[in-house]
Structure 1
Amino acid sequence: MLFRQLEYFVALARERHFARAAEVCFVSQPALSEAIRKLERELGVPLVRRGHSFQGLTPEGERVLLWARRILADHDALHDEVAALHAGLTGTLRVGVNPAATSAAAVISAAFCTTHPRVELSLETNLRSADIVDRVQDFELDAGIVYLDEDTADQVRVQTLYRERLVLIASERLLLDAGEPSTWADAANLPLCLLPRGMRGREVLDHALADRGVAVRPQIEADSIVALLAHVMTGRWASVVPEQWLPGLALPQDLRTMPLDGPAIGAHMALISHAAEPASVLARALFEAAGTVDRFRESSD
């Protein structure tokens, strides 16, 4: 069994198309197909359902895919660790980031790259937390920054970063015209733009407000905090965003942010990686870098 065969098989499972898989592997389609057939003959089971095109993986193929991803991840981790012993860390670190944690990702990236300037960071910043956890477990990502749910700690390695705090943000003119809110019930009557239902940040808000007997009906929904802030800056809408997102942004002076009544609304954000041991040397270094960030240490105290 060759690593190349496993790489081709994983690429085919990801791309779900023989020609695209061959393209990303920089080989011809016949070469990729023959390598996968050799892998099937060696294992003695069919891995791919074939017709006129890729039809998916067989049940045996699904199981082999899990092992192939693990073997390739361990292979890469071994090379990274040995290289680090001689010349410091190198390679590419793949990190999935929930949109609400983009500012945290930037702070961690700065700390990490200062210590390990030869490592390239590849960030995907528009992923749901559940998808990040799945992709970390499948070795498609080396690490992630996610909303911390009760089940997450049982699946992956976890380092809590901070507790998110949601705040209302709106222009002074809108607040003056609508009457400055002092409660979340008041805020629900403002023209709102919010994350869409189904996104974790919106679920946190909806559940907390439901406990207060408040329901929100936003006029606009957008799947990124940048889009929410862009609408807020027109002066026509208010929004609810993580307070940790705002430091360092060049926001107009007439925008105001305010926490409202009762206990702070929010959820914990955490850095995660695969639970397998030994852990990837790059993932370990990322955890160490996150641990040096003052604002995360203060948040966890």
Structure 2
Amino acid sequence: MLFRQLEYFVALARERHFARAAAACYVSQPALSEALRKLEHELGVPLVRRGRTFEGLTPEGERLVLWARRILADRDALEHEVRALQTGLTGDLRIGVIPAASGTVALLTDPFCTAHPLVRMRVETSLRSGDIVERIRRFELDAGIVYGDGVDTAGLTRTPLYAERQVLLAATDLLAGRSGSITWAEALELPMCLLHKGMRGRDLIDDALVPSGLVPAPQLETDSVVSLLAHVSTGRWACVVPQPWLTIFPPPAGVRVLCLDDPAVTAGIVLVTPAVDPGSVLVKALIETARTAGIDDTLRRSAQRRES
């Protein structure tokens, strides 16, 4: 009964609405409210500030929700470990992925699912690094693929996956007389579309260009790498994308790829997971896959074949 009460309480803290929390838990609103009142009675403190609608958690409730998430995560980890001893790994694994890695996440998830066919994976690919890290700390995600810098990962385990480099894509007609590489000063003279400011992939570019005094001023901005590729395929735009994307999605017909130099813009992509002991056997298995899958080598060989 306690676990169910904690599940209802965590759902209410997440949804901040009684009816939505009840729907998320597949119970009626009166049943959820009654369970929470019993939890408050058992603990001897008010947890929810009630009015005509949900008005938030009390200070005691804010503290309890941290423990509730941890208790439920530990319960799930225990159940997974017990089942693993009997039938192998089973259960659900939730992974948050930054948009820049949404094209390469299969290099991790595919070998993991092959090795552990009874595990179900849910991958969210529209999150930013900071959001992923925060949701891991709240036990709402089991793991995340994020940029290795620019985000506070204190208290989490970091497993390097690969290094990405930004490259230029443009139609052959826009790159007349150019081959191999191009400087940023030259690239920014082209009709450019880039990721939105504030996205880490864009911030990497802006920060790297500060010492040279260059400031990108693209006519078009988007929050999607797929959208960048769609625009460059028209033949009228140039864009900048992480090179690993081209391993999964080859450049459109008539589009060339040039290395961007002066400076080269690179970043490390890492897997972040909770640093708890004993921890989840599913997360441990994911870390082992990340260490042995050779993702960085795969991407490097692919880039070399494309350049040769």
TM-score (norm 2): 0.92
Using the aligned pairs only, state the percent identity: 58
In 1, Cα distance between equivalents of 2:101 and 2:119: 21
| Aligned counterparts, 1:283-294, within 5 A | 283-294=283-294
4+ residue segments displaced more than 3 Å: 150-153, 297-300
- The 5 Å alignment of 1:43-122 reads 43-122=43-122
String of CA shifts for 1:268-300, please: whole Å, max 9, x gaps.
110011111112111111111112222325789
* Counterpart position of 1:22: 22
Equivalent in the alignment of 1:126? 126
Q: Tell me which residue corresponds to 1:40.
A: 40
What secondary structure, in the 3-state scheme, does the structure 1 residue paired with 2:78 have?
helix
The answer to whether residue 200 in structure 2 is matched with residue 200 in structure 1 is yes
Q: Look up the match of 1:144.
A: 144
**Separation in 1 of the partners of 2:238 and 2:251?**
14
Separation (CA, whole Å) in 1 of partners of 2:299 and 2:212: 25
Q: What's the counterpart of residue 217 of structure 1? A: 217
Task: Map 1:228-267 to 2 at 5 A.
Answer: 228-267=228-267
How many angstroms does 1:105 deviate by?
1.0
Measure how far apart 1:196 and its partner are.
0.6
After superposition, the C-alpha distances for 1:212-231 in whole angstroms (9 at most, x for unaligned) are: 22110011111111111111
Partner of 1:176: 176
Unaligned runs of 5+ residues in structure 2 are 301-308
User: Using the alignment, how far apart are the partners of 1:118 and 1:58 within structure 2?
Assistant: 40
Structure 2 SS opposite 1:164: strand
Contact 1:205 1:266 in 2 (8 A): no
Greater shift, 279-288 or 139-148, is seen at 279-288
One-letter code of the match for 1:222?
T
Answer yes or no: is the 8 Å Cα contact 1:169–1:241 preserved in 2.
yes
Contact 1:169 1:240 in 2 (8 A): yes
CA drift at 1:112: 0.3
Structure 2 distance, partners of 1:295, 1:141, is 22
The number of aligned residues is 299
Q: For the Cα contact (< 8 Å) 1:291–1:297, is it kept in 2?
A: no
| Distance in 2 of aligned mates of 1:210 and 1:199 | 17
TM superposition shift of 1:250: 4.3
Alignment RMSD (CA, Å):
1.9
Contact 1:102–1:125 under 8 Å retained in 2: yes
CA distance in 2, matches of 1:151, 1:251: 30
Question: How far, CA to CA, are the matches of 1:297 and 1:44 in structure 2?
Answer: 57
- TM-score, length-scaled by structure 1: 0.94
CA distance in 2, matches of 1:298, 1:251: 18
Rounded to whole Å, the distance in 1 between the matches of 2:288 and 2:11 is 31
Paired AA for residue 91 in structure 2? G
Q: Report the counterpart of residue 274 of structure 1 in structure 2.
A: 274
**Which of 208-217 and 195-204 deviates more?**
208-217
Change (3 A) 1:297 1:39: farther
Is the 8 Å Cα contact of residues 290 and 296 (structure 1) preserved in structure 2? no
Deviation at 1:260, TM superposition (A): 2.1
AA partner of residue 228 (structure 1):
L
1:157 aligns with 2:180: no
Contact 2:184–2:263 (8 Å) recurs in 1: no
Contact 1:190 1:238 survives alignment (8 Å): yes
Q: What SS does structure 1 have at the residue aligned with 2:182?
A: coil
Distance 1:149 1:248, change over 3 A: closer
Measure, in 2, the Cα distance between the counterparts of 1:271 and 1:255.
32
- 1:264 shift after superposition: 2.6
Deviation of the 1:149 alpha carbon = 2.1
Q: Deviations over 1:219-249 (max 9, x none)?
A: 1111111111111111111111100111132
Residue type of the partner of 1:54? F
